[in-house]
């Protein structure tokens, strides 16, 4: 459920409770626990930090303004050095050499005057080469920005002009030889050979395999473009002044804005996070991208399906007078970058960033990508990701089980660690906690459970129920869930009795997890949300009503209320909920995980396996 859904829950009748075809299953298949999980690590792989265009061993080589980057089929990294007017390559042996372009530097030594010439390798001339991309033909295509054209370089280093003209800046479509560009900056190919060109002074252009240039309606002032080729066709991710825009294969547009004032149709990010200002972009799949933010000197990760963003490296600073950039290798938030521009993904999943301000090339270890995936995926395939010895626990519910989090700080990640590291859990097996995230219908639960049991995916099932589920599932205003208990208590009891019987028949232990919303605990929680929205009034009776309905069903209850109340009473109390909306804070997830772990270690469902 999105943040907007919380403010609109009184107006919208949501589908009936918890499970069904709309659910998502988090792919928590890896053996990495919270204790073992590593933050992204940043290290330097090329560049001494001095300005220049010296070739040689990678860490001794010099750059002026590394911008676009692309890997060839052999794993060599090509780099467009925009201020040196050169295309460089870092080979797999860790040596840097120049493959095209040239010219002497000005007296300051910080840049080389641009030029224009086709020719072999060092005879070619560029005027700020920016984005680069390899085509299906194996040639390298170069956005020659200030020459208003696209250049093509063969594997032997011969450079020719592919589209546009250095003598004519414009926006004319048509055959590539006569089409014009203003300032081409970012390039990307799809698998059938369409070349996409991000031109910040116009729009995204497409050069098809026949050489015809046309416009694509996908936002204004784009700086870069990335493509992911899926079964349905290419998905485009466009970075630029308007933020990040996703264009699906059927030409639908989704926009994530960098501005506090959003346009109609803009997607919002979980937790009210700021998108940042995307520049370079690399597609990981049809819904996930990583991008550089040269304004805040960070590298960021965005799952567009759920609007979930996190910063992989760097630390944004809102003080414009402060030194917001820097040069530090290290783990995620401790690393420092300065003007990161281009970004590319290596075959092993590692990311490579052109750290332009530092005149270096940096790598980021592969980000942890355990995330929510649609239930419509091959569930048998998901099941095959586990070992037969794994003990698999599902935590299912609405967005309270997985929202604005990564694996390390999630309820599931911490729960997996707490149980797996406890002496009560058998050392001969491993525990896996799988978040099942979504809203659906209890009527569909029978079908879902049957699928789950047929695959043997879960050994224990935990269902999370809160007041938002009750309000949405039974058509009641959130403010009225307690005063209208007669409408939902008996139906809920009956639904849970049926669910209990199905779980018992399948031999799967079942328990219900319940927790308070901020307005059922204290006004001091989620203060910003409470002050700026129309939340439900304080409701201290809902807990008893919910417990009563569940108790009558005979399903065990894991009650988080006492732990949250005790934590709130502590003099060293930390916020249990986010300030932007009623979801758990990082600390709230810690408290929830600890209480669920305590209950499971007492229940020991693995004993009946």
Q: What whole-number distance in Å separates Cα of residue 482 and Cα of residue 504?
A: 30
Please say whether the beta carbons of 167 and 204 come within 8 A: no
CB within 8 Å of 458: residues ≥ 6 apart: 392, 393, 394, 434, 452, 508
CB within 8 Å of 8: residues ≥ 6 apart: none
CA dihedral 158, 163, 167, 168 (to 10 degrees): -170
260: exposed, middle or buried (Cβ count in 10 Å: 0-12, 13-18, 19+): exposed
Q: What whole-number distance in Å separates Cα of residue 336 and Cα of residue 311?
A: 12
Report how far Cα 281 is from the mean position of its chain's Cα atoms: 12
Output the six-digit token pair for 81: 């050095």
Q: Which of 519, 502, 518, 522 is nearest to 510 (CA)?
A: 502
Q: Which helix (H) or strand (E) holds 544?
A: helix 542-553
Average pLDDT, the chain: 85
Report H helices in 276-393: 379-383
Rounded average pLDDT over 130-144:
98
Q: What whole-number distance in Å separates Cα of residue 375 and Cα of residue 499?
A: 19
Rounded average pLDDT over 236-265:
80
Q: Is pLDDT of 5 > 50?
A: no
Percentage of the chain modeled with pLDDT above 70: 82
Rounded average pLDDT over 579-591:
88
CB atoms within 10 A of CB 598: 15
pLDDT at 462: 92
Q: Which helix (H) or strand (E) holds 414?
A: helix 411-420
Q: Residue 144: beta bridge partners?
A: 129, 149
User: Model confidence at 588, in pLDDT bands (50, 70, 90)?
Assistant: very high
Q: Which of 590, 550, 558, 548 is nearest to 573 (CA)?
A: 590
Topology given in CATH for the domain delimited by 41-364: Neuraminidase (2.120.10)
User: Pick the residue with more confidence: 26 or 177?
Assistant: 177
Global pTM? 0.74
Q: What whole-number distance in Å separates Cα of residue 355 and Cα of residue 298?
A: 10
User: Pick the residue with more confidence: 193 or 525?
Assistant: 193
Rounded average pLDDT over 53-75:
98
Tens of pLDDT, residues 538-577: 778 999 999 999 999 999 999 999 999 999 999 988 989 8
Q: Is pLDDT of 299 > 80?
A: yes
Residue carrying structure tokens 């995916």 = 457
Rounded average pLDDT over 422-450:
71
Domain range annotation of the chain: 3-37+370-608, 41-364
Q: What whole-number distance in Å separates Cα of residue 160 and Cα of residue 176?
A: 13
pLDDT at 516: 93
pLDDT at 18: 36
Q: Does domain 3-37+370-608 have CATH number 3.40.50.150?
A: no
CA dihedral 489, 495, 497, 503 (to 10 degrees): -140
Q: Is pLDDT of 13 > 70?
A: no
Ramachandran region of residue 254, left (φ > 0), alpha (ψ -120 to 50) or beta?
beta
Q: Which of 77-81, 335-339, 371-375, 534-538 has the lowest mean pLDDT?
A: 371-375
Q: Which of 339, 413, 328, 436 is nearest to 597 (CA)?
A: 413
Tens of pLDDT, residues 361-382: 999 999 887 654 444 445 555 5
Please say whether the beta carbons of 165 and 185 come within 8 A: no
DSSP 358: G
């Amino acid at each position: 459920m999105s943040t907007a859904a919380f403010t609109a829950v009184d107006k919208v009748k949501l589908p009936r409770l918890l499970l069904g075809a709309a659910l998502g299953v988090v792919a928590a298949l890896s053996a990495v626990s919270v204790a073992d999980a590593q933050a992204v690590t940043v290290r330097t792989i090329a560049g001494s930090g001095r300005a220049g265009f010296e070739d040689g061993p990678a860490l001794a080589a010099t750059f002026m303004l590394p911008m676009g980057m692309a890997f060839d089929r052999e794993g060599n990294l090509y780099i467009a050095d925009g201020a040196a007017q050169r295309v460089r390559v870092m080979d797999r042996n860790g040596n840097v050499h120049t493959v095209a372009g040239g010219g002497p530097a000005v007296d300051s030594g910080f840049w080389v005057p641009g030029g224009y010439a086709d020719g072999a390798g060092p005879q070619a001339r560029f005027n700020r080469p920016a984005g680069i991309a390899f085509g299906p033909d194996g040639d390298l295509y170069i956005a020659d920005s200030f020459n208003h054209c696209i250049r093509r370089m063969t594997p032997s280093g011969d450079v020719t002009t592919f589209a546009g003209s250095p003598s004519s800046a414009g926006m004319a479509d048509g055959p590539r030889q006569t089409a014009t560009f203003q300032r081409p900056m970012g390039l990307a190919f799809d698998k059938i050979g369409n070349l996409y060109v991000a031109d910040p002074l116009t729009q995204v252009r497409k050069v098809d395999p026949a050489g015809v240039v046309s416009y694509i309606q996908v936002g204004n002032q784009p700086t870069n473009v990335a493509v992911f080729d899926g079964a349905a066709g290419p998905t485009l991710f466009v970075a630029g002044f308007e933020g990040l825009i996703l264009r699906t294969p059927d030409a639908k547009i989704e926009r994530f804005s960098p501005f506090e004032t959003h346009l109609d149709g803009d997607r919002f990010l979980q937790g009210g996070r700021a998108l940042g200002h995307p520049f370079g972009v690399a597609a990981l799949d049809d819904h996930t991208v990583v991008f550089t933010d040269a304004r805040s000197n960070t590298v960021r990760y965005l799952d567009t399906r759920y609007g979930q963003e996190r910063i992989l490296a760097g630390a944004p600073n809102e003080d414009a007078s402060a030194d917001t950039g820097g040069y530090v290798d290290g783990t995620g938030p401790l690393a420092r970058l300065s003007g990161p521009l281009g970004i590319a993904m290596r075959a092993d999943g590692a990311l490579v960033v052109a750290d332009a301000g530092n005149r270096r090339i940096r790598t980021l270890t592969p980000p942890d990508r355990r995330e929510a995936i649609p239930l419509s995926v091959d569930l048998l395939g998901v099941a095959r990701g586990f070992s037969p010895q794994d003990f698999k626990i599902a935590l299912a519910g609405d967005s309270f089980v997985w929202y604005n989090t990564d694996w390390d700080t999630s309820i599931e990640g911490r729960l997996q660690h707490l149980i797996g590291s406890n002496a009560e859990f058998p050392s001969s097996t491993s525990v896996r906690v799988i978040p099942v995230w979504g809203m659906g219908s209890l009527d569909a639960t029978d079908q879902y459970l049957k699928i789950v049991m047929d695959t043997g995916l879960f050994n224990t099932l935990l269902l999370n129920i809160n007041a938002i589920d009750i309000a949405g599932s039974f058509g009641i205003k959130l403010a009225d869930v307690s005063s209208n208990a007669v409408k939902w208590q008996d139906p809920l009891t009956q639904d849970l009795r049926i669910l209990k019987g199905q779980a018992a028949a399948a031999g799967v232990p079942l328990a219900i997890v319940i927790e308070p919303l901020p307005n059922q605990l204290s006004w001091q929680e989620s203060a910003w949300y409470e002050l700026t929205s129309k939340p439900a009034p304080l409701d201290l009776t809902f807990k008893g009503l919910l417990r009563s309905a569940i108790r009558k069903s005979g399903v065990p209850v894991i009650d988080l209320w006492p732990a949250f109340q005790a934590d709130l009473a502590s003099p060293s109390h930390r916020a249990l909920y986010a300030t932007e909306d009623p979801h758990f804070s990082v600390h709230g997830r810690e408290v929830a995980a600890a209480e669920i772990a305590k209950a499971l270690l007492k229940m020991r469902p693995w004993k009946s396996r």
